Amino acid sequence: MPNNSPLAALQARVAAVNDVLNAISVLTWDSRTMMPAGGAQTRGLQISTLTGLALELLLSPLTEAALAAAEQAVQELAPDALERSMVAQVQQAVAHHRRIPASLTQERAALRTVAQAAWIEARARSDFTLFAPHLEKTVALARRYADCAGWREHPYDAMVALYEPGETASSLKQLFATLRQGLLPLLAAAQAQPPRRRDFLFRDFPEAEQRSFGLALAEKLGFDLQRGRLDTTVHPFEVSFTREDVRITTRYRRDYLPASMFGTAHETGHALYEQGVDPAYTRSVFATDLIGLYAVGGTSFGAHESQSRLWENHVVRSRDFWRLHFTELQSHFPEQLADVTPDEFYAAVTHAEPGFIRVEADELSYDLHVMLRVDIECALMDGSLPVADLPGAWNAAIQRDLGLTVPNDAQGVLQDVHWSTGYIGSFPSYTIGNVMAAQLMAALQAQDSTLAPAIQSGHYAPLKAALGQAIWQHGRRFGREELLARSTGRGLDPAPYLAYLQTKYSPGTAHQ
């Protein structure tokens, strides 16, 4: 577009907002990887200030004028024109933030770093009471935010919309009911099978070798280390500062190898999405969540999770992957894995047995973790569950859904980082990601008969190219449902996911 056009003027305003949001992301990444604990209070204020600046840029008279001129400029364009989508997304974001007091948005931003620091300490001490006051504030601010944003049936709907537009507490309840009907018999059948040997997963695995293998794994899947890096954190995450600088993190347990290995694969999936966004979208509305105020190229949290869960489970947690690459893992840990075969390793890392930790859960029980968190978040949002009663409610839900007695807060209510960062409403994205991942894999393999054999033989570039074409390149141009319709012919459908799990975990199938 010409530099002096109305659309170019609007793009310049969005680019400035994107720049500020990327600066916030850098400060957030630092706070979760390198910042000393004492920096939390001032870091929160710094992030709050920058959040205010981003809002001022978005809602300024200059942006309003540019938006009005751009609206006129796109009137004659086709309904699906890129420029019309750009203008519509800015319109939607401006309308949203006009409903939310800037002071409330900044207060939520300031709380995140402080609350996260409190959560880290509480988790280390396994003491929920250290985090509870911060969660009280987080929930109170979320309720205020929901009321300002607007909701019809349940206040949770407004929070889910930040991460997964179109979903509500009601729609999630329906999806979860369908999944439970398919998951629970599979989980029961898997648990009735003879136990798999797993002792070798809990040997001593030095961190340096875990990191070395993790980096090699990320590169094998296609992560470009010239535009990315791997660091250590308490709870793994991915963050991008444009597609040219994408950071992933993991955590290492010397006494449990899968934690870092699959965590790294998971975050690599996120990173591939961000690195695969069309370069033309850099600093544009298609690489900026103007409503959630994040510099991110993925169209929704669920779409993002579909990529991480796809690479983590469909590729790295497959029998073919370990038959091909187990000797590489053994070369990093020759003594620890000397008495293990590839099939034994595969059986161990796909063993279905409910546990306390969501990020370490098997594929059959994983979504049950998500569902109970969504139930809890709904109760927190409507006030039926006081924060003080949260540990008891959590422990009761784990006992009810997974049959486990939670031993302490660290392995229970304090295990996830999300509430400390204000991400109430984001947990459904993990299950949506699981569903979407299976749907995409089934569709892409049906469309290209060479894709499955390539993956089975260890050639992952064709899968990367297919996902880049179908999902990554589009950034935030299309919503989740439109992306799915374009790539699979229909909206979100749990049937391929349940079929995938049936094939993988039913007695007598490939898993056995």
State residue 102 phi and psi, 5-degree precision.
Answer: -60, -35
Round to whole Å and give the CA distance between 359 and 368: 12
State residue 15 phi and psi, 5-degree precision.
Answer: -60, -40
Residue 55, number of CB atoms within 10 A of its CB: 19
Are 375 and 197 in contact by the 8 Å Cβ rule? The answer is no
Are 464 and 471 in contact by the 8 Å Cβ rule? The answer is no
Q: How far is CA 2 from the centre of its chain?
A: 37
Query: Tokens representing 227?
Result: 């535009």
Residue 19, number of CB atoms within 10 A of its CB: 16
Are 428 and 474 in contact by the 8 Å Cβ rule? The answer is no
Task: Check 164, 267, 305, 312 and give the catalytic one.
Answer: 267
Query: Tokens representing 422?
Result: 């204000």
The dihedral region occupied by 114, where left means phi > 0, alpha psi between -120 and 50, and beta the remainder, is alpha
Round to whole Å and give the CA distance between 14 and 17: 5
267 is catalytic: yes
β-partners of residue 229 are: 247
Long-range contacts of 443-447 (CB under 8 A, 24+ apart): 443/487, 443/488, 443/489, 443/496, 444/470, 444/487
Our separate counts of H helices and E strands in the chain read: 20, 3
β-partners of residue 247 are: 229, 239
State the DSSP string of 211-266.
HHHHHHHHHHHT--TTSEEEEE-SS--EEESSTT-EEEEE---TT-THHHHHHHHH
Are 366 and 312 in contact by the 8 Å Cβ rule? The answer is no
How far apart, in Å, are the Cα atoms of 288 and each of 21, 43, 190? 8, 22, 42
Are 262 and 279 in contact by the 8 Å Cβ rule? The answer is no
R_g of the chain computed on alpha carbons: 23
Q: Report the amino acid identity of residue 263.
A: G
Burial 476-498 (b: 16+ CB within 10 A, else e): bbbebbebbeebbeeebbbebbb
Round to whole Å and give the CA distance between 220 and 201: 22
Round to whole Å and give the CA distance between 346 and 365: 18
Place of tokens 């370490």: 360
Catalytically active residues, by annotation: 267
